[in-house]
């Protein structure tokens, strides 16, 4: 492309006159003045700012407040004091905690409440003090125009608040009381249930925290909750009712059909019954707490034992024949009676459960102590001892009574440790038992007496026990020396007198086994024998005797009138004999060792001639 040159016409020149340039000069001058004023004002503002910064170097700029507390123009310390004065009542007691009539007024420090005054003052002092002065100028101008209210931060230490609440909880909280029942002797003690009280610490902290936000003292109600007892009255009510039934009164037991002592009654007091009751805490079927009540059945059985012992009527022992060693029961024993313990226990438990508390004790028959079933187990295998006596030249009535008495002694069983009583086994001395009357001198006159001659039998039993080495627990001497008790060579004093109902002859079976007594009357030889059979004996019995004193016979006869004899009849019934004081000694040995030593003393009175005179018609 070829360059083209365009020529422009020259500008038209204008020429100005001095009058035209004058307004421009004036305008420039005004502008210069204005700029000078602005510079001056800026200088003045800067000077003022510099002076303000210097004047408020340690103070807060005006029109600044902290949560409504004016702090403008104040130093840090003065502003702090102003804020603290404003909130002094709050800091003294931010909240008043109440429960019922109790009120606690903790200080702010006690519950961990504080105000961040220094933080607020730091913020107040930072206003208008940035690094950029123009910004500071704008800020201070805005604050001067509109003012600034800074927040005051509330600080809460909930650990301290919790600690304080736990302290006051000690005086408020109550543990729940479980219902309970126990026995104090026969008294039923009941502890009713009681609700407990627990301070709800977390909820109370929330309430207190919310209340402090106003920075004004506020009332706060302590938050609590009721604690239900684990064991309620209703849980124990059935047990209380059961105990009242168990201890409603004494249990009275009687058995009028028994032969025990008059009255034959027993009473168990509530205190005694209470001793058999045990209580144990457990759980019911539904899981609720309960009280298990049990009555010691073993204790009831133990309490029944003395009752059973008193009611027990032993059956009689059978009469047994030695039969050459093959024992045979000749007369069975009678059954006894005793307490039906099982039925009695059932009646007592029924009474304790609310039934009648007066009980008629049931009795049941008891088998005789010895039957054919256990006869062989008694261990009676050989003769242990024998007693002999002669009744030669005795009158017929005497022989009859000796025979009757011997029958009563025949076949008697004596248990181990048992006591033999002659009178008990003799029974009634009556015609029904084969006894007859005979003549005897009683108080210096001839009288008929039942059982004359029975001392022959008691003497022979005494001798059997004597030679068996058994303890003689009762023996009485004859008042006068009787010749037929010495006819077989026996020493004087080896005899035993009895008088039914008054004097007895007793011995104890200490052999450790059963004894069988057998009697035999030999009319041809006029002898009576009493044998004792039992288990083999290892005892050795020896006898000694001594006559310590003799007394001469009376020389004056005694005459006795007998109205049953014909008048004019006259006979001599007794021959005079002297008195005597004698002793019989017995030593019992086992394996050469002395088991016992006994002395049997006898004093015979002198005996006169006695004549019987008939005075009858």
The residue behind tokens 């309620």 is 232
Record the tokens describing residue 513, joined without a space. Answer: 């086994």
When the pLDDT of each residue in the chain is averaged and rounded to a whole number, the result is: 89
Helix (H) or strand (E) holding 226, with range, is strand 224-227
The total of other beta-carbon atoms located within 10 Å of residue 108's CB is: 21
- Dist. CA 27–CA 33, nearest whole Å: 10
16: pLDDT strictly greater than 50: no
Between CA 504 and CA 86 the distance in angstroms is: 119
Residues in the chain: 617
Domain with CATH 3.10.20.800 in the chain: 234-317+337-366
- Per-residue confidence band for 488, with pLDDT thresholds at 50, 70 and 90: very high
Question: Mind listing the pLDDT tens digit for each residue in 211-269?
Answer: 999 999 999 999 999 999 999 999 999 999 999 999 999 999 998 776 665 568 899 99
% residues pLDDT > 70 (the chain): 90
Euclidean distance between CA atoms 52 and 60, whole angstroms: 11
> What count of other Cβ atoms lies within 10 Å of the Cβ of residue 445?
15
Predicted confidence band of residue 19 (pLDDT cuts 50, 70, 90): low
Domain 234-317+337-366 is found in CATH 3.10.20.800: yes
Helix, strand, coil tally for the chain in percent (to 5): 30, 35, 35
Query: Does residue 36 or residue 320 have the better pLDDT?
Result: 320
CA angle 370, 376, 378 (to 5 degrees): 65
> In sequence order, what E strands does 288-356 have?
289-295, 319-321, 328-331, 336-339
pLDDT of residue 167: 95
Strands (E), 52-164: 64-66, 69-70, 95-99, 102-104, 113-115, 148-150, 154-156
C-alpha–C-alpha distance, residues 367 and 570, integer Å: 59
């Amino acid at each position: 492309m070829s360059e083209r040159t365009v020529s422009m016409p020259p500008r038209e020149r204008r020429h100005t006159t001095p009058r035209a340039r004058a307004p421009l000069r004036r305008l420039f001058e005004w502008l210069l003045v204005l700029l000078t004023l602005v510079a001056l004002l800026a200088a003045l503002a800067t000077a003022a700012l510099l002076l303000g910064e210097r004047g408020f170097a340690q103070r807060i700029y005006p029109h600044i407040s902290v949560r409504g507390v004016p702090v403008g123009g104040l130093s840090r310390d003065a502003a702090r004091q102003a804020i603290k004065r404003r909130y002094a009542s709050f800091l003294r007691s931010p909240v008043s905690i109440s429960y019922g009539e109790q009120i606690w007024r903790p200080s702010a420090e006690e519950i961990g409440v504080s105000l961040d005054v220094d933080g607020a003052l730091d913020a107040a002092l930072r206003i208008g003090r940035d690094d950029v002065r123009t910004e500071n100028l704008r800020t201070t101008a805005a604050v001067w125009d509109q003012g600034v209210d800074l927040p005051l931060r509330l600080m809460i230490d909930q650990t301290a608040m919790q600690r304080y609440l736990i302290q006051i909880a000690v005086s408020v909280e109550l543990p729940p009381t479980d219902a309970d029942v126990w026995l104090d002797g026969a008294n039923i003690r009941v502890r009713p249930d009681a609700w407990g009280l627990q301070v709800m610490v977390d909820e109370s902290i929330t309430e207190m925290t919310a209340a402090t936000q106003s920075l004004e003292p506020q009332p706060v109600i302590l938050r609590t909750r009721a604690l239900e007892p684990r064991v309620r009255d209703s849980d124990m009510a059935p047990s209380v009712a059961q105990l009242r039934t168990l201890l409603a009164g004494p249990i009275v037991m009687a058995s009028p059909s028994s032969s025990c002592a008059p009255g034959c009654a027993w009473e168990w007091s509530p205190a005694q019954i209470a001793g058999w009751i045990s209580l144990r805490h457990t759980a019911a079927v539904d899981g609720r707490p309960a009280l298990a009540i049990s009555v010691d059945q073993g204790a009831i059985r133990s309490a029944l034992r003395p009752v059973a012992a008193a009611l027990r009527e032993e059956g009689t022992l059978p009469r047994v024949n030695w039969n050459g060693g093959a024992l045979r029961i000749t007369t069975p024993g009678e059954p006894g009676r005793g307490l039906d313990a099982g039925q009695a226990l059932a009646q007592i438990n029924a009474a304790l459960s609310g039934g009648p508390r007066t009980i008629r004790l049931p009795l049941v028959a008891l088998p005789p102590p010895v039957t054919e079933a256990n006869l062989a187990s008694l261990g009676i295998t050989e003769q242990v001892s024998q007693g002999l006596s002669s009744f030669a030249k005795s009158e017929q009535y005497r022989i009859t009574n000796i025979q009757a008495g011997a029958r009563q002694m025949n076949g008697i069983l004596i248990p181990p440790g048992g006591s033999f009583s002659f009178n008990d086994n003799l029974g009634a001395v009556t015609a029904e038992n084969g006894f007859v009357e005979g003549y005897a001198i009683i108080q210096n006159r001839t009288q008929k007496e039942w059982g004359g001659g029975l001392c022959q039998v008691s003497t022979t039993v005494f001798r059997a026990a004597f030679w068996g080495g058994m303890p003689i627990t009762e023996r009485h001497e004859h008042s006068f020396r009787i010749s037929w008790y010495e006819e077989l060579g026996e020493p004087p004093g080896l005899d035993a007198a009895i008088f039914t109902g008054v004097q007895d002859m007793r011995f104890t079976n200490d052999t450790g086994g059963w004894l069988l007594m057998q009697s035999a009357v030999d009319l041809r030889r006029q002898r009576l024998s009493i044998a004792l059979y039992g288990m083999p004996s290892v005892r050795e019995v020896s006898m000694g005797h001594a006559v310590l004193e003799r007394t001469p016979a009376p020389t004056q006869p005694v005459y006795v009138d007998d109205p049953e004899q014909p008048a004019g009849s006259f006979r001599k019934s007794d021959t005079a004999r002297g008195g005597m004081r004698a002793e019989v000694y017995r030593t019992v040995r086992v394996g050469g060792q002395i088991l016992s030593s006994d002395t049997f003393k006898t004093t015979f009175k002198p005996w006169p001639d006695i004549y019987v005179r008939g005075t009858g018609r």
